[in-house]
Amino acid sequence: MANSGQKVVLITGCSSGIGLRIAVTLAKDEKKRYHVIATMRDLKKKDKLVEAAGDAYGKTLMLLPLDVCSDESVKQCINNVKDRHIDILINNAGVGLLGPVESISIEEMKRVFETNFFGVVRMIKEVMPDMKKRRSGHIVVMSSVMGLQGVVFNDVYTASKFAMEGFCESMAVQLMKFNIRLSMIEPGPVHTEFETKMMEDVAKMEYPGADADTVRYFKDVYLPSSIDIFEAMGQTPEDIAKCTKKVIESNSPRFRNLTNSLYTPIVALKYADETGGLSVNTFYNLLFNFGPLMHITMNILKCLTCSCLRRRTISPN
C-alpha cells in the first residue's frame, strides 16, 4: 500500500527488459516517492524482477498479474489497486514481429496489434475515467522511433507503433483539459534479451510465401545491417528507464521523447520532403546500394559513440 505522498505507478510488461528496469529504478528511488505496481502476464516469471528489486520488493514494489490483451484481466488488475487510484500509468508491454510480410499470417499480425495497440487502449480506457475525476494523472506510452519512421522488414510492428502514435496524439489534446499528461517514450534499438533472441530466431527461420530474392535481401542484407545499427547505436534498458524517470519527474513533460539523439537526423529526413521521396530513397540506397559503406559507417560510429556520448543521449531534454 502506498504511503502518504507517494505516487502510485502501474507498469505493464515487467518480467524483463525495459519494463523490469523502469520498475526497479522507480522502486529504488532514493526519496521513496513511488509505490510501484509491476505487472506481467505470468507471475511465474517474476524471479528476475524480484532479484533486481532486492529490498524494495514488498515495500515500494508489489506485483500483480495482468494480460493487456484481456478486458477482464485489465479490469481485475485495476480493481485490485486501492481505490483504483493510479497516478502514473506506464504502458510498456509489447511484442515484435520481423520478416517478409508475405510469410507472416494475418493472425500473427493481429496478435501484434492486440498487444501493441489495443493493449495500450485497454489500459488507458480503464484508468482514464478515474484520472479525469481527480483531474490529475500522467500516462506514459513506450513507443519507438519506428512509430515515426518506417523500417524495412518491420512492416507490421511499425504499423502498430504508428497506430499508437496517432491514437495518443489525438488523446493528448483531450486529456490536457482534465490536467492529465500523456507522454510518448521513443527509443531506437535497445539491447534486451527479447531483441537478441528475436534476431537469432529469424535468421534460422524459413519464410514460405516469400520469393527467394526477398528472403536473401532479408537474411543477407537487412539482418547484418540491423546488427551493425544495434551495436553502434543501441541503448540499454537502464538508459530508457532513466529517460522515463526524467519524463515523469518533469514539471512540464514533453509529449514526444526520443531517447537517442543519434536518431534525430533520421526522423528529420521524413519531414524535410513532403513527397516522402527523400527518406524512402535514402533508406533504399543505404540498404541496397551502399551496404558496405553503411557497414563501415556503423563501425566508425561504434568507435565514436563512447560511453560519455551514449550517456548524453539518455535525456529527453
Q: Which residues are annotated as a binding site?
A: 13-41, 67, 144, 161
Q: How many CB atoms lie within 10 A of CB 277?
A: 9
On the CB side of 147, how many CA atoms lie within 13 Å of its CA?
A: 24
Annotated binding-site residues for NADP(+) read 13-41, 67, 161
SS3 sequence of 22-38: HHHHHHCCCCCCEEEEE
What DSSP letter does each residue of 42-60 carry, written as one string? -GGG-HHHHHHHGGGBTTT
Residues annotated in a binding site for substrate: 144
What SS3 state is found at 316?
coil
Q: Output the CA–CA distances (angstroms, integers) from residue 199 to 105, 194, 202, 205, 227, in the order listed.
A: 19, 9, 5, 10, 8
**Residue with the three cell numbers 483539459:** 177
Q: C-alpha cell of 271?
A: 519531414
Catalytic site positions: 157
